[in-house]
Structure 1
Amino acid sequence: MRSAMILIVGICLLMFSSLSSFASSGRVALVIGNSAYRQVAALQNPGNDATAIGEALQRMGFEVTVIRDATKVEFDSALSAFSDVAVGADIAVVFYAGHGIEVNGINYLIPTDATLTTDAKVSFETVTLGDVLEAVRGVKGLSVVLLDACRENPFVSKMQRDRATRSIGRGLARIEATPNLLVSYSAEAGAIADDGDAEHSPYTEGLLKFMEMPDLEVNFLFRRVSAYVRHKTDGRQTPFEYSRLPEEAVYLSLPSATDAKMFLYEEGIGGTQPTMFPGSVRWSIDMRTDANGRSDPVIQAHITVPERNFTTTLKLERNADPLLSASHLIELSFQVGPGFSGGGIAGVAGMTMKVAEGDRGDPLVAVSAKIVENMHLIGLDGLPDFRAKNLELLRTRQWIDLPIYYLNGKRALLTFEKGLEGERLFNKGIYTWASNDLANFDAQ
């Protein structure tokens, strides 16, 4: 009882090489990584960055071409070919890692065979950002250009000036985005980015960490990348985006698959049989990064009952608050449409795990509390025996019951299953929590 009371108090405190040839497709990508520069020292990471980004985009359903150490001719040829296949595409992505330079407010990407002995040669030996944007002009949907090209540039110090009036800046210059375009710089305009001392640059690390997450809208995707890079570089580097996005939500990663069943049962009037409304549940997994840079998986369910204009988001994560006696927290956010007969969600009576839909199941050892209107938390007991029991139920049971109470006093039950995808994500998350094996999180 004392543990439960501590848990309730604690919960209330939380109120607040070419991987593939180009082909006609709705999702196309061109990836270029320039490391082996002939006139200046080689860069450590762009080749690795290009390989990893290309593989990630392939897993995300893109038709991808990867080019490493592109000369001027190869760069131009790749853009020309890409402009053809990008026509009519739903989404097109261009990723470039290597050296870039800004001259008189124009951004240039530097091929590996550039000499740039004088500033007059910039126009002849490089590729402009405008050339890249021209290659995606025919895209039907969204164009995304990712530039990991703001490194300290050795060409600048050796370049002779033919014109005293020609300005050469640090990093890349700001641009004006056109509709349905997002351009992301690895560092804000005029700033320098780290190449990194690991296998990838900090910016590419951030992209690889978040870009494959399903159901992560692009605005939130790049916010997370930015936060990751700032933390990774101790605040020295902040990515920046120039965009004019459509009104509807846009996702780089395809929505997570669903094979799971879901039903809402509402209490009948005067003891009559409950009314059943079918719905859908989609499972995904996210990563939470705390103030200390520690990342942890968050298992999510996105539940929709169209006939009742009712949606719920469930988030299951490991508790990160040392003042709270819970081992894990389940956050439930409800959204109901105007005129919802129940009036809203008054309470949640815990959570039960079942083998099959018709079973009574076993409740998790937990305490639930209302946080704000239509938002509730369930805290799983942190005592070792109860923690082990709860995780075993979460891992082995396929079906979940959430008994809820409406503001009008009526009772209801959300019952839904994991399905194959949900089971995979539960196993992935629980394994990581148990082992703290974040290094192998993406490989599971």
Structure 2
Amino acid sequence: MIRLNFQILVTFVFFLFSVTAALAEKRTAFLVGNGAYEHAGQLQNPSADVRLIGSVLEDLDFEVSLYKDLTRAEIGQRLTRFLDANDDADVTIVYLAGHGMQFEGRNYFLGTDAKLETEFDILSETTPIDSVIRAVQSKSRASLIFIDACRDNPLATAFYNDNHSESRAVQTRGLVPLASSAKGAMVVFSASAGQVAYDGTGANSPFAASVARHLDTPNSEILSVMKRVIGDVRLETENKQTPMISNDLATEIYLNIGEGEAGQTLAFQREKALFDAVSEMNSLRAWSVFLDRFPDSQFASLAQQERDSLARSDNIVVANLQIGQIERGAEQEKLGLTVADVRLVQTKLGTLGYDAGIADGVMGSLTRKAIADFQQANELPSTGVMTEFTARAMGIQVSGMEVSSIPIYSSLDARQWSPDALAQVETDPRLLRAAEVLKEREILYGWYNDHLYIGVLGWRLDWLGAQELAERAGGYLAVFADQAENDFAYELVSRDDRFWQVSNAGQGRHTYGPTFGFYQKKEGREPDGGWSWINDQPVSFTNWSWGNPNNGVDYDSEYAAFYRWISDLSIEKFTGNEWNDVDLPRTGRAFIMEIE
């Protein structure tokens, strides 16, 4: 692990080197301004507010989707389409302006067609705000959600007066705080619990005007920006309105990194933050990510030294640029791309701002680097290989797809990774969400054909418990479609001895490895009937070792695990990529999960 005096280093380096600007981010925004309510009168400000916010966001390079006067059904339809089209965004902003209400501890945003005659109309005529937050949170690495819907709502007042006591109606003004935090999101209400938001005397509400005024402040982290907004709104409303913030962002968000010394300092600090996180992780994958992201960094030589010292195995590929063996000629054709395909990829990358070199139809290192950079910016496994998911993200069609035969592995051994450090290094939201669930366990991870695989040391955890944990982490116990996928999963865990249990029982030596998603149903006829994949995928591939499955004499063997038997006891260490049927109470020490 590198030990550096960063206080001295930062001071020295800053005056010697220029710093790299922040990587291009995909930024998207979904704005709704509802004012033309059929049963609650007209609101003048919401449409003007979202136009103002939208203008500021466009100047900050956001792709803005702006809507006015949507019904309840239209809100759901537009938001779903927006999230599906932008599920690879680095930063997503949602701004809802209009009428809102609370009911039984939940907040709701009202479509323009809301009537609310009885409490049974709540779910059918409104949009639950917590559902919006969860949907946005699941589709973006970082989300900023603004709820400017705390206005004095005559429809909600009438609803409570007609269905509840007068005192209850007074108690339910405004919105309520969130019941739980939203991981990876900042949620901002324009007013605190029990308060209403004021429209003010100008063309825009005090809250929207302040957000627009401060959102593009150079070199300011978003939490600092919102503190300024709170101060402005309190001052303008004479302390009658105080915006309420719930912040659970995993990373700092800067929407405007300015030029000059301050901007250079901030950019340098972001580079240093990644270097700190990589130093903490100290894995081949982490060092390679740093070198790919900041190849001209003043820390590059140090990072290269650390990476080289960990590179103990030539056949483990952990870096985007270690792909020279598939660059030209016949090897290129084997991976399924024609010369015309490669030219199309190179041309498209150029139009997207990635330097893929001349569109000569040759998959060289510069093109691989451009593909890897595009994948990294779009939260895809950064392999430099043209997979189906990558082509889809680019918006192109090619005659064939490359198979990601260059897998990416995190490390040679399982670690208890810090979720905060991991969030600095990796961009795959599937991994970041799974890491939170698995943070108390030692894991290693890798990508193959755009699927994420995680090896988990699951001591004292049976097969059903492993599957339950995999589901909570967003996936399932791994399923293998062919020999190549099977071999990838085996290589993922093959170098950490803790995934393997050696037994000298009987003749020879037996090595039992981790389990995965192949099991025998209770009604299956012994010894080999009823074996199925956990996701009900048709069983077109198996890799049983000789004599298996055999349902051992003294116990029920209902689960598959990696296994190898060898008769030569003089061999000190061996593992295998074939399968044995096992009972988990005896061999359940590790498992492999998969996330699509």
Name the TM-score, length of structure 2 as normaliser. Answer: 0.38
1:207: Cα distance to partner? 0.2
3-state DSSP of counterpart to 1:51:
helix
Q: Whole-Å Cα distance in 2 between the matches of residues 150 and 178 of structure 1? A: 20
Change (3 A) 1:303 1:79: closer
Distance 1:304 1:211 in 2: 18
> Match of 1:124, SS?
helix
Counterpart of 2:229 (choices 222, 225, 229) is 225
Q: Give per-residue Cα distances to partners, 1:397-432, cap 9 Å, x unaligned.
A: xxxxxxxxxxxxxxxxxxxxxxxxxxxxxxxxxxxx
Given the alignment of the two structures, is residue 172 of structure 1 paired with residue 184 of structure 2, yes or no? Answer: no
CA distance in 2, matches of 1:82, 1:225: 27
Q: Residue in 2 aligned with 1:198?
A: 202
1:129 match: 129
Distance 1:199 1:145 in 2: 22
Structure 2 runs not aligned, ≥5 long = 1-24, 273-596
Give the corresponding residue for 2:94: 94
CA contact (8 A) 1:86 1:138 kept: no
Q: CA RMSD in A?
A: 2.5
Equivalence for 1:38: 38
- The C-alpha deviation readout for 1:105-163, integer Å capped at 9, x for no partner, is 11000011111122221111011102311331333421111011111110123226557
State the distance in 2 between where 1:58 and 1:64 align: 7
Residues 19-64 of structure 1 show CA distances to partners (whole Å, capped at 9, x for unaligned) of: xxxxxx7211100001111112201200100111111111111111
Q: What letter corresponds to residue 62 of structure 1 in structure 2?
A: F
Cα distance, 1:170 vs structure 2: 1.1
Q: Give the SS at the match of 1:77.
A: helix
Cα contact 1:45–1:196 (8 A) shared by 2? no
Moved over 6 A (4+): 303-306
Q: Distance in 2 between matches of 1:238 and 1:154?
A: 21
Q: Is the 8 A contact 2:137 2:183 kept in 1?
A: no
1:71 aligns with 2:89: no
Q: Is the 8 A contact 2:92 2:140 kept in 1?
A: no
Q: Does the aligned pair in 2 maintain the 1:91–1:139 contact within 8 Å?
A: no
Shift of the alpha carbon at 1:254?
Answer: 3.0
The 3 A distance-change label for structure 1 pair 213 and 157 is same
Residues 337-357 of structure 1 show CA distances to partners (whole Å, capped at 9, x for unaligned) of xxxxxxxxxxxxxxxxxxxxx
Larger radius of gyration: 2
Corresponding residue to 1:255 among 239, 254, 257:
257
Quick one: structure 1 residues 27 and 167, their matched pair in 2 at CA, closer, same or farther if it must change by over 3 Å? farther
What is the deviation of 1:219?
A: 1.2
Tell me the distance in 1 between the aligned counterparts of 2:117 and 2:231: 37
Please list, as runs of the form range in 1=range in 2, the aligned pairs for 1:231-246 lying within 5 A after superposition.
Answer: 231-246=235-250
Q: Is the 8 A contact 2:134 2:182 kept in 1?
A: no
| 1:76 CA displacement | 1.1
Counterpart CA distance in 2 for 1:59 and 1:127 is 30
Q: How far is the alpha carbon of 1:180 from its aligned partner?
A: 1.2
Q: Distance in 2 between matches of 1:109 and 1:167?
A: 20
- Whose helix proportion is higher, 1 or 2? 2
Q: Using CA pairs under 8 Å that are at least 6 residues apart, name the structure with larger relative contact order, 1 or 2.
A: 1
CA 40–214 in structure 1, closer or farther in 2 if over 3 Å, else same: same
Q: CA deviation at 1:303?
A: 8.5
Q: Please state whether the residue corresponding to 1:138 is helix, strand or coil.
A: helix
Q: Any idea what SS the aligned residue of 2:138 has?
A: coil
Residue 442 of structure 1 aligns with which residue? none
Answer yes or no: is the 8 Å Cα contact 1:83–1:138 preserved in 2.
no
- Counterpart-to-counterpart distance in 1, 2:181 and 2:220: 22
CA apart distance, 1:244: 1.1
Cα distance change, pair 163–189 in 1 and its aligned pair in 2 (3 A)? closer
Contact 2:35/2:98 (CA < 8 Å) preserved in 1? yes
**Conserved in 2, the CA contact under 8 Å of 1:186 and 1:238?**
yes
**Contact 1:147/1:186 (<8 A) preserved:** yes
Determine helix, strand or coil for the equivalent of 1:190. Answer: coil
Equivalence map 1:10-159=2 (5 Å): 26-159=26-159
Q: Note if contact 2:137-2:185 (Cα within 8 Å) is conserved in structure 1.
A: no
Which residue does the alignment assign to 1:342? Answer: none
Change beyond 3 A, Cα 1:80–1:303 = closer
Give the TM-score taking structure 1 as reference length: 0.51
How far did 1:282 drift?
4.2
Gaps of 5+ in 1: 1-24, 259-280, 284-300, 310-444
Query: Cα offset for 1:190?
Result: 1.8
SS in 1 for 2:87: coil
Q: Is 133-142 or 218-227 further displaced after alignment? A: 133-142
Maintained 8 Å contact 2:111/2:126? yes
Larger strand fraction of residues: 1
Deviation at 1:304? 8.9
1:199-246, Cα deviation, whole Å (9 max, x unpaired): 000100110110011211111101000000000001111001011122
Is the 1:30–1:93 Cα contact (8 Å) retained in structure 2?
yes
Q: What's the CA shift string for 1:249-292, capped at 9, x where partnerless?
A: 322x231245xxxxxxxxxxxxxxxxxxxxxx246xxxxxxxxx
